[in-house]
A and B are shown apart, each in its own frame.
Chain A
């Protein structure tokens, strides 16, 4: 067996056998699923609670408009005096008292409605009350101006723009959301992978250094070989872990949702879909959108950027590990890793979504340290092939350059003990 294979195998086994790794592999999906179920459960709990709101209406306009609905019950206290109404609300521990005073005009009335409560009521309830009052007053205004309400209702137009591209394919309005989710997930996943497993590479380098086994090893293998073996072995362990997470998480989620009857999908999507007029057709269009994404390109470029980005960063991690004696010392060198990663994610979530082909997005999808994340987020929106090509070439070029540089630092660093190096010293090492 070649030395590289041996090193990869050892690194892989060492990672996988590590107790924390095993615990995290099996515990993380449990925690994630547990959290999702908890959130879903809490959301249903919240919905069950019924708020009781009393109203004191001097105008008598709204007595029929405040109807008990879902989670809010309305109680009419208009027959009491205002003070009595307030007292009963306090005694009966209701959630608040809505006071509609008598005013001369609707416009004056609109400004003087008050809500008494110990704790501010939830915004959604307030919004709902405001909406009821507003529509009532609007209708009143229409009547006063002599307009026919039915006529107004009938003449309201409903618009649903159908989006179609120039080659005649229909898409839904959700299309850009779908693209955003695909790109965002890919970019976010890459960042997490780099941070988790890059750190692992670094720790394994530091371990070899502090164990003092490093000199024994590099009297048998080339330092660059050792570094590569470490990066590869760790990434294989990482891929295995992610596979287990996905499978275990999926199974658990399915089990949880069938046992407890909780729909773990975020409620928001359901509602927004249901609100669409022809939801059936809309869902079909979304599915079509997913199918129409450049899936082949997406998967291929995902692999290239994923591998490229991971290699780029983990060789920097390895160099940092070689330069320091302990993990605490490594903090000072974390900036060159964290900064571009964060920049990539922020540019991705703000610029790319706003304008996938704008200058900022384009530039950051070319710069090698941010390109894996930003380009992955841009690709679902359709990027000209030559831009992808340039970005990939730049990435490959800088991987070669950075691994070479990291290898130099690594080679010198693993044999240096005791002193905390500065950036200046690291630069000097490259010339040894």
Chain B
């Protein structure tokens, strides 16, 4: 798959402080790309470089195989983490203003704004001032302004902060729909469950360096340890547990059940397949649960970061 965005060895220093060190990422066309990392890792600096707000000291950025140029600003929609609107300006006016800054004509901007305002059912806000709206309401307007000019690349920095669960869901669906319509999305967040749900690629940045990048499925495959979570209903739980301990790497597991199962995590060596284990277990009792433990993004995140400390 072709890459919409490629950052090659971007380095940025602020005085003595290194914000980014030789960071490269590849964002495939049509993907939702999660940019993860602890606070102060350099995510915002990388995003600002892509938006041409900050220039890198070294390295280069390609959008659609062209070196990044000023006119590419119009191909990008950016919703920054620190976002706000003019307090004393009317909602409609400033949405129009921001849309025009992205190169839309006034009539076109009006048409598209009407579509989005109707879609979100907020047309009656048009003549209100931002100071009359709540934070979540203002965020909706910001979201519309970000996507209005139909950019090829959308960058969202913590898009769900400030939204209640219902509205967060609305926004999530919109993001997915935009992806389906052909946009590529870069997504920076600390909320791992939304990464799990949305992203198909991720990159992990820590202390100004990229430490992990790839397809979510590939990364998970690399991080899984052939471990299975098992629940068996037997006559004698301790008996089976000790027997298994002799054969595999077994640890007790904890999940909720309604009956008294033997709960454990079994890590297989390369010589045993999961089918063999299942056959063995079913001969010993009634297998109630048998599933592979796949590490969550959250786990991978914490594990890689602590390993890199």
Which of the listed residues A207, A212, A220, A432 has the most CB atoms from chain B within 10 Å of its own CB?
Answer: A220
Contact with A along B192-211 (1 / 0, CB 8 A): 00000000000000000000
Q: Per-residue 0/1 for B83-110: is the Cβ within 8 Å of any A Cβ (1 yes, 0 no)?
A: 1111111000000011011100010000
Interface stretch among B73-81, B218-226, B229-237, B280-288?
B73-81
Chain B CB within 8 A of A215 CB: yes
Chain A residues in 8 Å Cβ range of B100: 1, 6
Whether B188 is near chain A, meaning CB under 8 Å from some CB there, is no
Specify the chain A residue showing the minimal Cβ separation from B82. Answer: A212
Report how far A222 CA is from B97 CA in the complex, Å: 16
A215 and B83 form a contact (CB under 8 A): yes
A428 within 8 A of B: yes
- From A213, A221, A431, residue with most partner B Cβ within 10 Å: A213
Give the residue name and chain of the A residue nearest to B105 (CB): A1
Chain A residue nearest to B12 (CB atoms) is A432
**Chain A residues within 8 Å of chain B by Cβ, number:** 25
Chain A residues within an 8 Å CB radius of B79 = 216
CA distance A71 to B70 in the complex (A): 78
Q: A205 → chain B, closest Cβ, in Å? A: 13
Collect the chain A residues with CB atoms within 8 Å of residue B80's CB.
215-216, 219
Q: Verify B102–A218 contact, CB threshold 8 A.
A: no
Interface string of A1-25 (1 = CB under 8 A from B): 1010011001000100010000000
Known: A415-B53, A428-B15, A432-B14. A216 touches B98 (CB 8 A): yes
The B112-129 residues at the A interface (CB cut-off 8 A) are none
Q: Is B51 an interface residue (CB 8 A)?
A: yes
Chain B residues within an 8 Å CB radius of A6: 97, 100-101
Which among A7, A217, A219, A428 has the greatest number of chain B C-beta atoms within 10 A?
A219
Within A389-432, the residues touching B (CB, 8 Å) are 415, 417, 428, 431-432
Instruction: Among B86, B87, B106, find the residue whose CB has the most chain A CB atoms closer than 10 A.
Output: B86
Q: Provide the bound-state CA to CA distance between A207 and B97, in Å.
A: 17
* Chain B residues near A (Cβ < 8 Å): 14-15, 48, 51, 53, 70, 73, 76, 78-80, 82-89, 97-98, 100-102, 106, 142, 145
Given contact pairs A208-B86, A213-B86, a sample of 17 additional A-B residue pairs in the complex whose CB atoms are under 8 Å apart: A3-B101, A14-B86, A14-B89, A213-B83, A213-B84, A213-B85, A215-B53, A216-B85, A219-B73, A219-B76, A219-B78, A219-B80, A220-B102, A221-B101, A415-B53, A417-B82, A432-B14
Contacts from A to B (Cβ < 8 Å)? 1, 3, 6-7, 10, 14, 18, 207-208, 211-213, 215-222, 415, 417, 428, 431-432
